[in-house]
Structure 1
């Protein structure tokens, strides 16, 4: 397997609006990020992924870009970005930007021109269609509700928007669009950025027939995700790689809903020359009942099956992204852990379970201190465009019970991840001296960086040790992965192996005390406890009782020349 810096890195995702306010206006900014670089260096991460910082009218919190070469005014100036980049590089930290090029803002100069007339030179930068019998061109629905087509009376045609109507989809079938995107990417790379996370990148190629899709019961429109993995997506990514990306030593990660490991290999296999790695979402739907708008218990065996399939099927022919949280997902300790009695133990266990697997870890801001979901009380507290659209559709139009709707959002709203970073126990969690753009989680007085910095047994210090442990052990970086005890609904256990060195990881996902027993066919010499979330006295690695949400990782040597699991 080829060794590279991005395989050995740990990424820290920053949602700039909620990370740190540097000027007191209630919104995080670039100067706020710069002020916390020493903290991030101390934590031990290598790469900072910044969610969009480009000029935007903020219909979808920056994922609607109106100028790809300008900084959003509330985040600062280009000079602030240049200083942040220089200061990060001085500390050995790399910067990853969010590339949002499936769509732009409807306020982008291209779209302003495009909608002026049917023969405008920029008309074909976007996807315009005639209606059918007075209706939309097809039955595709927007990810935020309603139709994916918006009628524009100026030219009596519809434009496609797989997300908000203020996010028209770019037409990648137009070579001029692809050249413009390549120029944007080259411009930022020449400035010195170290790579890109590519937003919904497998949506850039649509089926030119624009066929109708199946409509689920109770829905008016087909799921727009049927447009994923279109007919020319690989051609376009290879072109971008060949013309631009391959000229720089960078990392790329694609956001790719609707992929399996087999589909993923076409994006990330080294001989494909497209992307370094991608985000899949299979494990993000285990606890959702979308039809009933309810949370459902997740089965550990199903989580293990999904993660293990990705570990095994990509194998040496690709690379995994390891994440529990991001700006679109609820907090993991509230989701798959226990954010009450076993908050600390379960947060540490979840980190150990995932970040000792093979792949590049992505830690989302606040995850390293165990930040939890936020129980917003009313719809007025929410800022997420997806929640606000769903409220209009489900509660206002369909009459769904408001409290039922809010209970669902308390579990799954994207705003759970977007509450301000909890730095200390001062007003507004030390995030801002002004009024925060979104409410601060009231548990900040107990859960914050300052308190955990002084506590050597805190979640924060555990994350730091875990990151250090990854970097010091090549078996964690490049070893193979094999699941053991696949049928257990309590224990997630696996073995990493490289040459004759092994790593055993055992994690209890319950408040119970199950017994762990290593399968007899695994031959090894005595193991050394590498990291764990409880104090462990000397004892055998092969058999022990686990305490609630306990995790242990043992380093050991195989006694056989060649290691194989049955």
Structure 2
């Protein structure tokens, strides 16, 4: 792939870091994280190598779905701060080379949102058509998003005697995307936050956002995504739409659009993530290699976002029932560690038994895969979940800054914290940022080194992937190439050492492989082959150093 003008494509080589302001750092001792607390940690994030902050919802909320039940799309939750505090975050982040993107949660509102409060007053309310209503629910009235928590998709509003649609929780009525006034309101919301200095949006549940309700007319839902992207580009050439689209690849590509950056800018690679966990469960890289080969080609103006963990359950819905059971058995053997019949409510280190070799191999893999790496707060220090917290909230515990009371998150009484901290081996006494900052061999410093190497290896963000054939069944060998060069990564999924012989006969005479994390250089033999050894769960990044290319490393 040829790299051309990169001025507006900053996200091609960005390191994204997702955090919830409410659980990051409390500055005033009320037990709730806030924007002022976040502001005091911008230096920490910059040193980590973060170039894009993704803020989970900070809007006013009824707080029945951890902030995703929004009551005011233009507001800032007063518990977290003010618009002025947010602007200060954006400015300070810019000063440190970071952009800020925010969650765009507009497929539904809270039932406490003024629009819905007005809509349910009467059938003639001007806000009635902001939502989707029926006299009787359809026969297919099963909630597949939250099985076990929500049984239906349609909820009776007793005052007006009609049912309203809620694809998620019953207290989150769906907005009617077929209503042009609703679409205009969403555009105004986007425009407002862009004017505040925001550089883009993580778009929540995109397929649900553009799904046209039965009985409503809207000729081309994807045209709406194209319209949003065009609006975004008019307001800010650098702004992005990072979409949550958990669909098979063949369906997912439609959300990029058919042309150059017509719809979503980036999409999370859910298929690759799930295949990775299957490979980890089997100690066999073939499922992940198969997924990477199946990744569709996309335009230069689009990108895959790679992740190990996000803020929801670790969904495994794209695996077969048998494959999902394999992953469950390996990483969530207790039924309490599973949710909705499809997901795991654990963080990576506990799933891998705390094995630092295996944990580091996974993060090396994350940063070496073609695309943009996305971290969830606390991953950089190896935080665990709190098994005493139900469901997906188990992984949304306060950031562990030190071994002090409440992990340095807050001076409030533990009973007043936004969420309870884990106990045992993953408590702040054992896992915290302060201790790891002072330990050059810690996971935190390891993630720093990965981020730094990723940032000066543009072929990873811009390049095209090739799975390399070799003779070591436990090793994934992949190559990423762009006009600036080529790198090769090796990852051993087994608990035994592996010897890998690579054939690079297509490279010119005099080519070497240069270790990107050490001084070693490997010569190709007269048949263009090179032999590498990896320890158990070992990994390696190597630059293909052609004669006279002058690349770093």
TM-score > 0.5 by shorter chain: yes
CA distance in 2, matches of 1:552, 1:231: 50
2:352 is matched with: 338
2:20 is matched with: 15
**Superposed, which structure 2 residues align to 1:103-122 within 5 Å?**
103-122=108-127
2:290 is matched with: 305
Specify the SS of the correspondent of 2:93. helix
Residue 96 of structure 2 is aligned to residue 86 of structure 1: no
Alpha carbons 1:258, 1:280 under 8 Å: kept = no
CA distance in 1, matches of 2:240, 2:504: 41
Alpha carbons 2:24, 2:37 under 8 Å: kept = yes
1:373 to partner: Cα distance: 3.5
Deviations 1:258-317 (A, max 9, x none): 24155325425553522211124224545999xxxxx9758532122223422x533647
1:95 to partner: Cα distance: 0.9
Correspondence for 2:405 among 427, 440, 450? 427
Specify the SS of the correspondent of 1:477. helix
2:165 is matched with: 160
CA distance in 2, matches of 1:550, 1:194: 37
1:71 to 1:258, Cα distance in 2 relative to 1, 3 A:
same
1:354 is matched with: 366
| Alignment coverage as a number of residue pairs | 494
1:487 to partner: Cα distance: 9.1
1:540 to partner: Cα distance: 6.2
Alpha carbons 1:287, 1:297 under 8 Å: kept = no
Deviations 1:361-384 (A, max 9, x none): 1111111112233333xxxx33xx
**Structure 1 gap segments, 5+ residues each:** 212-229, 290-294, 388-413, 562-566
CA distance in 2, matches of 1:327, 1:86: 26
1:440 is matched with: 421
Alpha carbons 2:259, 2:299 under 8 Å: kept = no
Correspondence for 2:263 among 263, 274, 278? 274
CA distance in 1, matches of 2:262, 2:504: 42
Correspondence for 1:240 among 228, 240, 251? 228
Specify the SS of the correspondent of 1:73. coil
2:342 is matched with: none
Correspondence for 1:473 among 457, 473, 482? 457
Deviations 1:153-197 (A, max 9, x none): 111111011111111100000000001111111111111111111
Alpha carbons 1:264, 1:278 under 8 Å: kept = no
1:24 to partner: Cα distance: 1.7
1:51 is matched with: 56
Alpha carbons 1:9, 1:360 under 8 Å: kept = yes
Residue 382 of structure 2 is aligned to residue 370 of structure 1: yes
2:141 is matched with: 139
1:513 to partner: Cα distance: 1.5
1:545 to 1:106, Cα distance in 2 relative to 1, 3 A:
same
**Structure 2 gap segments, 5+ residues each:** 315-344, 525-529
CA distance in 1, matches of 2:277, 2:162: 37
Specify the SS of the correspondent of 2:477. strand
Alpha carbons 2:310, 2:376 under 8 Å: kept = yes
CA distance in 2, matches of 1:331, 1:508: 23
1:43 to 1:298, Cα distance in 2 relative to 1, 3 A:
same
1:169 is matched with: 174
Alpha carbons 1:268, 1:318 under 8 Å: kept = no
1:492 to 1:130, Cα distance in 2 relative to 1, 3 A:
same
Specify the SS of the correspondent of 1:438. coil
1:486 to 1:191, Cα distance in 2 relative to 1, 3 A:
farther
1:125 is matched with: 130
Specify the SS of the correspondent of 2:358. helix
**Superposed, which structure 2 residues align to 1:191-206 within 5 Å?**
191-206=196-211
CA distance in 1, matches of 2:506, 2:401: 45
1:484 is matched with: 468
Q: CA RMSD in A?
A: 2.8
Residue 68 of structure 2 is aligned to residue 63 of structure 1: yes
Task: Output the TM-score relative to the length of structure 1.
Answer: 0.81
1:261 to 1:323, Cα distance in 2 relative to 1, 3 A:
farther
Deviations 1:326-345 (A, max 9, x none): 1113555337x7333x22x2
1:506 is matched with: 490
Correspondence for 2:448 among 464, 467, 480? 464
CA distance in 2, matches of 1:313, 1:332: 31
Alpha carbons 1:130, 1:137 under 8 Å: kept = no
Specify the SS of the correspondent of 1:543. strand
2:333 is matched with: none
CA distance in 2, matches of 1:77, 1:500: 44
Correspondence for 1:545 among 521, 533, 542? 533
Alpha carbons 2:478, 2:490 under 8 Å: kept = yes
1:317 to 1:181, Cα distance in 2 relative to 1, 3 A:
closer
Alpha carbons 1:41, 1:91 under 8 Å: kept = yes
Task: Output the TM-score relative to the length of structure 2.
Answer: 0.82
Specify the SS of the correspondent of 1:475. helix
